[in-house]
Structure 1
């Protein structure tokens, strides 16, 4: 079933627009002009679909995608190095990088197709550090609280979502007991669309989001994945719908975006906001929400409340923590991630046909 959903996701993305539109300046109350955002394409020379994306800084980023391909830039996208694990044709859907040398990538799929690899030398060599042996499990995304502690999320096995945890930077992984995991709903699963169905926060906090059932939900942990609490979301859900991406600023402020990937230009109950760490969620009104299905989201480093969301039919920005959104680009992207500090801060986006871009900000 999950394999069929992957195929449907790929088909849905092909329906999206692929041309960039000019960025628009946004004027808020009192005549104040917010920064103008636009994506600056950084050609990769690849035809892969890059759903895996790791932003390290303005200069350093990693992307991982179809046909087992992994690329890295250390010069702001001027050039890209193919650092793919040799001999792999797996579907890489997530990559987390700590710097220009150390990165962890996740391959998705049923059974042994779900694997994790790690490099400590910029992709010159890779070690396979986890291989799923349960034919029912299907890993969707991973994230790290810091350079040592991280979690990986699988769809439900025996009625509960499964978590693998690492405490050594991805060198080894241990399946966590499910006694502290709430039961999954019928048909509930997570979306391997952008690597942000699971996000890690400060300390030992983390959240993951779902769809597929009769309602989407957000799970949260404060003890590194040993126990979880779950909250219903007011967003839409269905066989191809739900929450595709979470983004958090600290431990309390967060946004969720999604929709229906088979209807990429529609946005029905497609965004929500929390200010209490995911214990409750409020729906963003339709006239203030992103203008289509969105698969990725991220808070920018230079503003406490500014969030960017991307999807096959465009990109949106919110300057008020996710309560209202304005589309600034019509290009096709799957993932967005931001990182860095000061002059090295940057946001990157990635998507189909080798597309990678860095956010240009006109203040």
Structure 2
């Protein structure tokens, strides 16, 4: 989401859509040549410029500078061990994409030219046995702020937060979210109002409410003082976004939930299945997107 008017969404079978009227109507397309791609993440800078990332084989990153009329292939890897989970940008020029571990290290791609080219870095964070990340909402990779940390959430055998320091090193912190199975872990993180909120759970049992959400006092990730929510969301959540004040919204296939106290307590607000929620970078518009092309506008 760029502002109160411009928003992009990506999905399965090569589908991408653009709205220029605050989500009221959408122009859909199926990107030619990528009809089988599962576009799990999209970053947008304007109504003209956006970058999409696919999960699965081949792993691809595409960019448009003309509102989706054409797409340029910026990265492609046909090796089946490459599985991209998300991408995020420090600023318009500098971004990263993370993928599941290869030979004990999480895949790390970086761009310094606005997504035109991507370089595989050797300094990806170390992975534990059977640890991976999730591409459920494109928000398991998060930029805390433009000058400092990038954050990656993991799951599987362990649920960890991996944060990148200014020096480029990766520090791991174990989270108190659901873990121990391939379908469990941390899926999304958001900061705002002096809080960091993280959500996840078990996507294969989305009604289970055990260890779904936790929070961290402060927005700069430097330690491990996480606290489990006192009242959990109503099941597995794949995404969380900051709204205003101490208000956070989370969503997943089990429904959507809202917290008015910085992630301490959650209450269900909708039972519909969604995969992602986001507030506009400039403004207060909040949109949700889910399976079968479902898109909704959230209002407090």
Please state if 1:269 is matched with 2:211: yes
Instruction: Tell me which residue corresponds to 1:346.
Output: 285
Instruction: Specify which of 146, 161, 185 is matched with residue 106 of structure 2.
Output: 161
Query: In the TM superposition, what are the counterparts of 1:70-219 in structure 2 within 5 Å?
Result: 70-89=16-35, 90-110=37-57, 113-178=58-123, 181-202=124-145, 203-213=147-157, 215-219=158-162
Instruction: Give TM-score, length-normalised by structure 1.
Output: 0.77
CA deviation vs aligned residue, 1:249-269 (integer Å, no higher than 9, x gap): 38x731110110111111101
Contact 2:240-2:251 at 8 Å conserved across structures: yes
Instruction: Tell me which residue corresponds to 1:49.
Output: none
Structure 1 residue 345 displacement after superposition: 2.3
Larger fraction in helix: 1
Unaligned regions of 5+ residues in structure 1, if any? 1-54
Instruction: Tell me which residue corresponds to 1:330.
Output: 271
RMSD: 1.7
Distance in 1 (CA, whole Å) between partners of 2:274 and 2:150 is 25
Contact 2:56-2:80 at 8 Å conserved across structures: no
Q: Structure with the greater relative contact order (CA < 8 A, sep ≥ 6): 1 or 2?
A: 1
Unaligned regions of 5+ residues in structure 2, if any? none
Please state if 1:67 is matched with 2:17: no
The more displaced of 155-164 and 128-137 is 128-137
**Secondary structure at the residue paired with 1:208?**
strand
Structure 1 residue 284 displacement after superposition: 2.1
Instruction: Give TM-score, length-normalised by structure 2.
Output: 0.93
Distance in 2 (CA, whole Å) between partners of 1:267 and 1:232 is 19
Structure 1 residue 242 displacement after superposition: 0.5
Distance in 2 (CA, whole Å) between partners of 1:314 and 1:182 is 32
Structure 1 residue 281 displacement after superposition: 4.2
Question: Highest CA radius of gyration, 1 or 2?
Answer: 1
Contact 2:13-2:30 at 8 Å conserved across structures: no
Larger fraction in strand: 2
Distance in 1 (CA, whole Å) between partners of 2:95 and 2:186 is 21
Structure 1 residue 188 displacement after superposition: 0.4
The more displaced of 270-279 and 59-68 is 270-279
In the alignment of these two chains, the number of paired residues is 295
Contact 1:240-1:260 at 8 Å conserved across structures: yes
Contact 1:139-1:155 at 8 Å conserved across structures: yes
Structure 1 residue 231 displacement after superposition: 0.5
Instruction: Tell me which residue corresponds to 1:39.
Output: none
Distance in 1 (CA, whole Å) between partners of 2:256 and 2:160 is 24
Q: Relative to structure 1, is the Cα distance of residues 227 and 352 closer, same or farther in structure 2, using a 3 angstrom cutoff?
A: same
CA deviation vs aligned residue, 1:167-193 (integer Å, no higher than 9, x gap): 121111111122xx4421111000110
Structure 1 residue 138 displacement after superposition: 1.1
Instruction: Tell me which residue corresponds to 1:25.
Output: none
